[in-house]
Amino acid sequence: NAGVMQNPRHLVRRRGQEARLRCSPMKGHSHVYWYRQLPEEGLKFMVYLQKENIIDESGMPKERFSAEFPKEGPSILRIQQVVRGDSAAYFCASSLTPTQNTEAFFGQGTRLTVV
Amino acid sequence: EDQVTQSPEALRLQEGESSSLNCSYTVSGLRGLFWYRQDPGKGPEFLFTLYSAGEEKEKERLKATLTKKESFLHITAPKPEDSATYLCAVQAAGYGGSQGNLIFGKGTKLSVKP
């Protein structure tokens, strides 16, 4: 899973600031998924994107959160006006195709701390 | 509501002491069940995908099995390097065909002492 690159690995933000998390998928992968892992909780799906399209955002909070995967460059998960409850590990995964026979590879995650 | 429950939450074994981890699920149509390994501070590492009841897959000391209601991850003669959190996830019908949108359990934290 070293092929999925996330940065930064650790991010500290004060309440009210914006957090930008970046994800570069494995080479050749055009499907990207974001998950959030709260302390003592399981991974929760947030959003699924293909290049320039949001396919499924059923797990995204309605406010303050947005995601994009532009034609060029990494996928970005943006959290505006962060609050303490946003502190969590955010993981990105990518896959070659959307079929169920394709495993998704995860990155190392970005650990967001809101102070 | 689709749900995944893993047990036990934590398991301590002596090196060489075989055991099993449980993943029970309730889902409206199973597309696939996945096992991942997660080390502290790292992202999940894919282990297995199972698609239908009766299916089994093996990798080194690990063997995953699937029934209509649960999956087991059997660990034979574990070593200290097998210590990690093991995550189970399901993909439910009704979602898109991607492996994204997986429903994860909270995991079983395995510790293997030498």
Tell me how far CA of residue B6 lies from CA of A39, A54, B51, in angstroms. Answer: 16, 31, 18
Predicted pLDDT of residue B10? 97
Predicted pLDDT of residue B97? 45
Which tops the pLDDT comparison, B21 or B41?
B21
- Which pair of structure tokens corresponds to residue A4? 């999925």
B95 to A102: CB separation less than 8 angstroms, yes or no: no
Distance from CA of A11 to the nearest CA of B (A): 14
- Which pair of structure tokens corresponds to residue B98? 């991607």
In chain B, residues with a C-beta closer than 8 Å to the C-beta of A6 are: 43
Q: Is B102 within 8 Å of chain A by CB?
A: yes
The pair phi, psi for residue B18, each rounded to 5°, is: -70, 150
Instruction: Enumerate the β-bridge partners of residue A37.
Output: A43, A89
Q: Is B24 within 8 Å of chain A by CB?
A: no
Q: Is B98 within 8 Å of chain A by CB?
A: yes
- A85 three-state secondary structure: helix
Predicted pLDDT of residue B100? 62
Residues of chain A with confidence (pLDDT) below 50: 1
Q: How many residues does chain B have?
A: 114
Mean pLDDT of B92-113: 79
pLDDT surpasses 90 at B6: yes
Q: Is B40 within 8 Å of chain A by CB?
A: no
A1 to B102: CB separation less than 8 angstroms, yes or no: no
Confidence of residue B12 (pLDDT cuts 50, 70, 90): very high
- B81 three-state secondary structure: helix
Residue given tokens 């994860």 in the structure block: B104
Predicted pLDDT of residue B96? 54
Q: How many CB atoms lie within 10 A of CB A91?
A: 26
Q: Is B12 within 8 Å of chain A by CB?
A: no
Residue of A nearest to B88 (CA): A42
